[in-house]
Chain A
Amino acid sequence: MFSYCSDPDTLGTFRWFSCYLTTGVHMSFYVAFLKVLLLLAITAPVALGFGFLGAMAARARFAPLRWFGKTYIAIVRGVPDIAFFLFFVIALDQAFEYMRHKVLCPDWDQPIRQGSDFVVCTAAKLPLSTAPQWMHETYGFLLAVVTFAIVFGAFAANVLFGGMRAVPRAQLETAEAYGMSQRQTFWRILVPQMWVYALPGLSNLWMVLIKATPLLFLLGIEDIVYWARELGGTKTSRFTDYPHGDWRMWYFLFLLIFYLAFTRVSEIVLERLMQKLTHGQATSGGEAQRRAAA
């Protein structure tokens, strides 16, 4: 990157590191951090949407829908989340390919599961085998996003369901007394009020989501964990201009500090947000704020 980097062997420690940390592979490492942030930026709203739908389903009057909502919420409780991640990535991939197979190749007569193989016609492959590399990577990343959204949607659904139940009953009864329909009560009274009750749970969920991002590695994405392992491993001078010993420990220490800083900053921001939201609310937090101001 810098002009003096052409012959790293002759450099002093500081300059050597300034060259080492700006090599092409290190740039991929830094891009991987953006991937993590991108995953968070996409997953958080999508999971919140899934959670909202899940919570609505769990409250539904139509019994099968209610059972579906409750099962969706409950099943995640007893099973390790990582098992869900590993499961959904394959299962979603196969589900997409199976559907495309049914649509694109109707006259295919062989079974799809042949012993230990999952065989669909070439046209149904996702992404197509002729597709460029970036399509494969994007597809893998999208699968990961959907997987995260499904799993975290269940957690969010649980939190929002609790938030909806915490809204005082009297509020809803008043709405009914004003002649509001079921739908109006839900959208105009329940939904605006539930957030303050749901926020502690949701901020906890955000922390959990941050701490779940390294699991991208298990879904086959070239994320920060992948690069930390790659870059940190012992390099001899035969393959690189920057030979070094096993530095994986230091790379993971860096990741550890990155996550600590990230969760700490989030904690502070969410605390401020909570302060804002409780302002003027008829909760003990709101009352405490009023007393402190008076």
Chain B
Amino acid sequence: MSECLQTIHDYALRSIGIGERLLPRDGFTLCEQVTLIGSGMIWNVYFGVMALFTGFFLATALAVAKGSANPWARKPAEWFIFVFRGSPLFIQFFFAYFLFLSLKNVNSFFDPFTAAWLGALIVLFFNTAAYSGEIFYGALRSIPKGDIEAADAYGMSGWSRFRRIIWPTMLRLAWPAYTNEAIFLFHATTLVFFSGFPAWQQRGDALYYASYFADKTFNPFVPYPILAGYFILFTLAIVGTFGLINKRLNRHLPSENRSKIGLRFNPIR
């Protein structure tokens, strides 16, 4: 037990470079595997939360632009969404990494972009913005006509109509699908360290450590179920958090009209 506490002390923050420098090399204990894979989850949470938060704003802008009548706004948004939804995230990661690598030779401003914490985050940011943008766009088109007419009748227009009527209704309609998007974005963060972006000083994410253990022990039956356990826990946490927000977005509606979060599949990008 005390041995395990020592392991936690050594490795719990290993993925961000705090604690023991060398990874365990042999005689891997269960405690070491659980601790290190859990430590890697820090990166998954970092990528997931940051990309989702920043992507949310770009997604709203994209949805509005795609729904706009002006082709100068609509066309770029359509193309952006098409490119990021039509190609595999895995290839996007590779392309972005090598693009940043080439830009690095041009200007040292691009140095941090070749590191996962920034470069991969940018790709995830664009990617989730495209997927959520499409979801928001769909919601934007299914806003009840009466809601907008009512807003007009109250004399609202432009920004105040968007801020107080269109945007909240769009979010409310899109929220169940957006919850799925959040879950699969979170799952997609595991691709980062398998796609060119180097895990500097072996500071990787949960899957990086899980596959490290699977390679070393040649036994996939321990590390991957541990990883699965962590991901199921975090997925439940996302569903819980988004469920609370969903409740708040629907609070003005009679209870039978509220949209429930039904989970659907939209795996792998």
What is the number of contacts between chain A and chain B, taking CB atoms within 8 Å?
A: 130
Closest chain-A Cβ to B30's Cβ sits at a distance in Å of 14
Could you tell me if B98 and A80 are in contact, using CB atoms closer than 8 angstroms?
Answer: no
**Interchain CA distance A39-B194 in the complex, whole Å:** 21
Residue of A nearest to B190 (CB): A80
- Residue from A86, A113, A155 within 8 A of B211 (CB atoms): A86
Interface residue stretch chosen among A3-11, A41-49, A205-213? A205-213
Given A211-B87, A246-B101 in contact, is the A252-B94 Cβ separation under 8 Å?
A: yes
Size band of the interface chain B makes with A: 35 or more
A259 at the interface (CB under 8 A from B): yes
Q: Is A172 an interface residue (CB 8 A)?
A: no
Beta-carbon contacts of B182-223 to A below 8 Å, as 1s and 0s?
A: 000001101100100000000000010011001011111100
Note all chain A residues with C-beta closer than 8 A to B263. Answer: 77
Within 8 A of B (CB), among A130-145: none
Q: Select B231's contact among A80, A211, A229, A246, beta carbons within 8 Å.
A: A80
Interface size on A, residues (CB 8 A): 49
A252-B94, A263-B86 given; 19 more Cβ-contact pairs under 8 Å: A77-B235, A78-B228, A79-B227, A86-B211, A158-B265, A159-B265, A208-B267, A210-B88, A211-B268, A214-B91, A225-B91, A225-B94, A232-B98, A249-B102, A252-B98, A253-B95, A256-B92, A256-B95, A260-B86
Can you spell out 18 A-B residue pairs with CB atoms less than 8 angstroms apart?
Answer: A77-B263, A77-B265, A78-B236, A80-B231, A81-B187, A83-B231, A87-B224, A91-B221, A116-B218, A118-B218, A208-B266, A208-B267, A211-B88, A212-B88, A213-B88, A232-B98, A246-B102, A249-B98
Task: Give min CB distance, B24 to chain A, whole Å.
Answer: 11
Q: Is B90 an interface residue (CB 8 A)?
A: yes
Do A264 and B86 contact each other (CB < 8 Å), given the known contacts A87-B220, A155-B267? yes
Most buried by A among B87, B210, B231: B87
Closest approach, in angstroms, between the C-beta of B236 and any C-beta of chain A? 8
The answer to whether the Cβ of A82 comes within 8 Å of any Cβ in the partner chain is yes
Q: Is A204's beta carbon under 8 Å from chain B?
A: yes
Asked if A59 lies at the interface with its beta carbon under 8 angstroms from chain B, I say no
| Contact between A212 and B232, CB atoms less than 8 A apart | no
- Give the most central of B210, B227, B236, B268: most A CB within 10 Å: B268
User: B26: CB under 8 A from chain A?
Assistant: yes
Task: Let me know if A80 and B218 touch, CB within 8 A.
Answer: no
B83's closest neighbor in chain A, by CB?
A: A260
**CB-CB contacts below 8 Å: A68-95 with B:** 75-83, 86-87, 90-91, 94
Q: Does B82 contact A (CB under 8 A)?
A: yes
In the complex, A158→B88 CA distance in Å?
Answer: 22
Q: How far is the CB of B102 from chain A (nearest CB, A)?
A: 5
Asked whether B224 lies within 8 Å of A83 as measured between CB atoms, the reply is yes
Interface positions, chain B 230-264, Cβ under 8 Å from A, are 231-232, 235-236, 263
Are B228 and A83 in contact, CB atoms less than 8 angstroms apart? Answer: yes
Residues of A within 8 A of B94 (CB): 225, 228-229, 248, 252, 255
Show the binding face of A for B, using Cβ within 8 Å.
75-83, 86-87, 90-91, 94, 113, 115-118, 155, 158-159, 201, 204-205, 208, 210-215, 217-218, 225, 228-229, 232, 246, 248-249, 252-253, 255-256, 259-260, 263-264
A contacts with B: majority SS: helix
User: Could you say which of A90, A205, A232 has the most chain B C-beta atoms within 10 Å of its C-beta?
Assistant: A90
Chain B positions within 8 Å of A159 at CB level: 265
- The answer to whether B210 touches A83, judged by C-beta atoms less than 8 angstroms apart, is yes
**Which residues of B, 51-90, contact A by the 8 Å Cβ criterion?**
82-83, 86-90
CA distance A264 to B86 in the complex (A): 7
Residues of A within 8 A of B89 (CB): 211
Q: Is the CB of A246 within 8 A of B98?
A: yes
Min CB distance, A26 to chain B, in Å? 18
Q: Does B269 contact A (CB under 8 A)?
A: yes
**Considering residues A94, A210, A246, A249, which has the most beta carbons from chain B within 10 angstroms of its beta carbon?**
A249
Q: Quick one: closest B residue to A259, CB to CB?
A: B87
| Residue of B82, B224, B266 most packed against chain A (CB within 10 A) | B224
Pairs A-B, 5 closest by C-beta atoms: A80-B187, A78-B232, A249-B98, A252-B95, A211-B88
Residues of A within 8 A of B228 (CB): 75, 78-79, 83
